[in-house]
Structure 1
Amino acid sequence: MAEIVNLRQAKKQAARKAARVNADVNAAKFGRTKAERELEKAQAEKVKRDLDGHRRET
């Protein structure tokens, strides 16, 4: 005998799988870890501080 399948659950499961695949693609394309974002922010702040420190007063 064939296994009984609830179509509503099967559709939801397929949609979740598709969303997960799409999320993985976006994470690979745009995703950075929190540590990477904080490091980049800290480096930008340091560059700005150093530049402001070298600015001449008029």
Structure 2
Amino acid sequence: MTAEIINLNRFRKEKVRQEKAATAEENRVRFGRNRAERALDRIAAEKARRHLDDHQRDDGKDPTVA
């Protein structure tokens, strides 16, 4: 009746790898966005910027001079 001999360093390193993989998976779920979502956000930001620029008053006066 002999016990299986295990390398404690290998066991410890494998445990750390598994913990990092679990953390990475959680971060992918929490923060991950695909290319289409990023493109939609970029397009929406550009549209908002254009909308704001189009509605800016242009009465010929310099707003920095009082």
Give the TM-score taking structure 1 as reference length.
Answer: 0.71
Hey, which bits of structure 1, 4+ residues long, moved more than 6 A?
Answer: none
Alpha-carbon distance, 1:16 to partner: 0.6
Bigger CA radius of gyration:
2
Take 1:21 and 1:47, find their aligned partners in 2: how far apart are those partners? 38
Residue 40 (1) aligns with residue 47 (2): no
CA RMSD of aligned residues (A): 1.8
Q: Find the counterpart in structure 2 of residue 15 from structure 1.
A: 16
Alpha-carbon distance, 1:56 to partner: 2.8
Take 1:15 and 1:42, find their aligned partners in 2: how far apart are those partners? 41
Give the TM-score taking structure 2 as reference length.
Answer: 0.66
More helix as a share of residues = 1
Structure 1 residue ranges without an equivalent (≥5):
none
Structure 2 residue ranges without an equivalent (≥5):
60-66
- Percent identical across equivalent pairs? 41
